[in-house]
């Protein structure tokens, strides 16, 4: 993707987010500006408490911004009402979290198709929806878990189910908050392999992570400290994995990681 000519899918300018705690003002995000272009896979890194998750929640419309401008697919999110933001999140965004929020009374398959049941974006029968979900599950190697309860599958399988769920409404972009944070190394690598495949197929992804191995699989890394983006690192995805990780780690050390 030539980012010099493509319009950004996410355009953030002078974003601020302030919380009031015990009558004291806490400026979590301070004049943050960046763009993400179609087909990119961008990681956000930084120390604990630097504002990484707040940034992801604010630019995706889960939290309201205090000031600034966020444009998603050309729409000014600051001007959207709550129900319009909710519809945008349902129809045009996919979400993956560290804690795999699933309905305990539903099977893995029913959890995956839930966003499509709630949306009118894709006109199809329930049978067609289930068929699409099964295709996604087969693609991610979890087809055998379809009828299981969510407590009957491993963490890695459940996170892959969350990826399937995030793709059900064919989103413009996926937002992932520490998607491998609750997984062991093997499951983490499996999940990142699937996210990387989705990205290669054209899905734009923004993810928060504290793991340099995870971030090294992305195309770009934004480093945030005290609510400000202090640096940006472009990753050569054609380089061997070891070289990508080494280069990123060296840059992170320069940033004070």
| CATH number, domain containing residue 75 | 3.40.50.300
Residue 152: inside a domain: yes
Residue 41: inside a domain: yes
Residue 188: inside a domain: yes
Residue 108: inside a domain: yes
Residue 3: inside a domain: no
DSSP for the chain, written as a single string: --TTTSPPSEEEEEEEEEEEETTEEEEEEEEEEEEE-TT-EEEEE-STTSSHHHHHHHHTTSS--SEEEEEETTEEGGG--HHHHHHHHHHHEEEEESS----TTSBHHHHHHHHHHH--SS---HHHHHHHHHHHHHHTT-GGGTTSBGGGS-HHHHHHHHHHHHHTT--SEEEEESTTTTS-HHHHHHHHHHHHHHHHTT-EEEEE-S-HHHHTTSSEEEEEETTEEEEEEE--TTS-HHHHHHHHHHHHHHHT-
Give the pLDDT confidence of 91-121 residue by residue, as tens digits: 999 999 988 889 999 999 999 999 998 888 8
Residue 4: inside a domain: no
Residue 20: inside a domain: yes
- Domain of 193? 10-255
Give the pLDDT confidence of 213-246 residue by residue, as tens digits: 999 999 999 999 999 999 999 999 889 999 999 9
Residue 182 confidence (pLDDT): 86
Which pTM value belongs to this model? 0.93
Tally the domains of the chain.
Answer: 1
Residue 24: inside a domain: yes
């Amino acid at each position: 993707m030539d980012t010099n000519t493509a319009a950004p899918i996410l355009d953030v300018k002078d974003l601020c987010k302030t919380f009031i705690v015990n009558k004291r003002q806490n400026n979590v995000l301070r004049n943050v500006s960046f763009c993400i272009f179609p087909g990119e896979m961008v990681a956000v890194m930084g120390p604990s408490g630097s504002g990484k998750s707040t940034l992801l929640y604010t630019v995706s419309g889960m939290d309201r911004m205090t000031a600034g401008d966020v444009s998603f697919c050309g729409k000014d999110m600051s001007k959207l009402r709550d129900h319009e933001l909710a519809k945008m999140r349902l129809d045009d965004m996919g979400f993956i979290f560290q804690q795999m929020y699933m309905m305990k009374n539903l099977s893995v398959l029913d959890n995956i198709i839930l966003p499509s049941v709630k949306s009118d974006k894709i006109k199809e029968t329930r049978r067609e929806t289930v068929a699409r979900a099964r295709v996604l599950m087969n693609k991610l190697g979890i087809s055998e878990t379809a009828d299981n309860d969510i407590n009957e599958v491993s963490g890695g399988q459940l996170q892959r189910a969350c990826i399937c769920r995030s793709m059900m409404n064919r989103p413009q972009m996926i937002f992932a908050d520490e998607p491998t944070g609750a997984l062991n190394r093997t499951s983490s690598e499996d999940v990142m392999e699937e996210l990387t495949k989705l990205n290669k197929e054209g899905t734009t992804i923004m993810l928060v992570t504290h793991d340099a191995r995870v971030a090294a699989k992305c195309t770009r890394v934004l480093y945030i400290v005290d609510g400000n983006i202090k640096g940006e690192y472009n990753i050569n995805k054609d380089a061997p994995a070891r070289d990508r990780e080494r280069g990123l780690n060296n840059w992170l050390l320069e940033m004070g990681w």
